[in-house]
Each structure stands twice: as structure tokens, then as C-alpha cells.
A and B are shown apart, each in its own frame.
Chain A
């Protein structure tokens, strides 16, 4: 059965810390892995990863995919209180998207 598992489920850090969020997946005919950030409302897109070993960066956020070990990580450096959110990982093939339950990150000042 296809599944996406995120860890940790919940994380509390202090401003300035660096965090690594994990996502492992088992997706038949895997095509892509996506990361979203969800605050109080709709998820906003962060990254789409299709190739192994190529890091994608956006400001303090970066992500990389390992298609051999079937996982991805999302790194956030120098965290800020505005990074507090649920981070969602999604694995997709050409037929469906499989959602993880998310990692809830709280950044305390």
C-alpha cells in the first residue's frame, strides 16, 4: 500500500535553531515529492522534487530527495517565529498524490 510517513509529528524549537524534517515514502511508480507549508489556512507550495541528489533552495529553506532510500528532508536554518506551521510532504505518481500527516513546527521567540 502506498504511504508517506513524516517525522517528527511535532517539534518545538527556539528562534535561530536549525531544523530537519523527514519524509519517507513508498509510492508505486513514483513521480514526484512535494513539500507544502500550512499555517492557519490553505497549504502553500514550497518545493517539488523529482530528481535524486539535487538540492532545491528558497531562502532559509532547502530540500533534497533520495530516490534510492525513498526519503526526503526539509531543512530550515535560522528559524523564525513565522516558520511555525504544519509542513506537509506528499508523494505522487501519475495517478494520485499520497499525503503525509504533517510535522507541526513551533518556533518560540
Chain B
């Protein structure tokens, strides 16, 4: 069966520090991978999605970047965090057809102080 992991579960970082959130998927090959952010009181916002290694699409301009160094690994990064980067970050995977069901990881709660 497929599983999706996110690391870390919770993170508190000072403004201006770098960020690296990791997402890994097991039990499937060539998945589509997604990064979402959910800010307090707001809906899910798609940040990035990837259809393959090294292929990243950005949905909104921002302070963050994403990379996919391996087929089942998706990394969300920032060189300098802003206060507005605080939120709940979710990674998801789907089979390689957009519009299909997405399965979510447990999420990372990020607090930037």
C-alpha cells in the first residue's frame, strides 16, 4: 500500500532563517506530487506541483521554492522565511493524471517568529 511521509511534524523558525520541508512517498512510482499551504482561517492553497523528477510548476509567486531530486521525494524550501510563511504545509500525491484523487501526508505545522 502507498504511504506518504512528511518531516518534520512541527517547526518553529526565526524570521530570515532557511527552511527545508521533506515529503516522501512509498509504494507507488511516478506519482504527481503537490505542496499546499493552509493558513489559519483560510482554505488550502496549492503552492507547487510536480509531474516528474526535476519538473516543478509554481502556482503562486512567493518566497518559497520546491525541488524533486528523486521520483518519490519532494522538498519545499526557502532561503529566508517571512512571518507570512507561517501555516500548515501539506504534501500530497496522486496517480499521474491531474484531477484524480490526491492523498495527503500528515502535514508540517510551521511557525515563523
Contacts and interface: CB of A to CB of B under 8 A. Distances in A.
A31 B43 CA distance: 22
Interface string B41-75: 01110100000000000000000000000000000
A43 interface: yes
Contacts of B43: 88, 99-102
B47 to A, nearest CB: 12
B2 interface: no
B76 to A, nearest CB: 15
Contacts of A45: 101-103
B109 to A, nearest CB: 9
* Chain A, interface residues (CB within 8 Å), range: 20 to 34
Contacts of A94: 97-99
A95 B88 CA distance: 24
Interface in A54-96: 88, 92-96
B107 interface: yes
Contact of A97 (B42, B99, B104): B99
Summarize A's interface: helix, strand, loop or mixed: loop
Nearest to A27: B99
B106 interface: yes
A95 B98 contact: yes
A52 interface: no
A34 interface: yes
B99 A42 contact: no
A41 B99 contact: no
Contact of A48 (B88, B101, B104, B106): B101
A46 B44 CA distance: 17
A40 to B, nearest CB: 9
Nearest to A93: B99
A32 interface: yes
B58 to A, nearest CB: 13
Given A41-B106, A42-B106, A101-B43, A31 B99 contact: yes
13 contacts: A31-B99, A41-B107, A42-B90, A42-B104, A45-B102, A92-B98, A92-B99, A93-B99, A94-B99, A95-B98, A95-B99, A97-B46, A99-B46
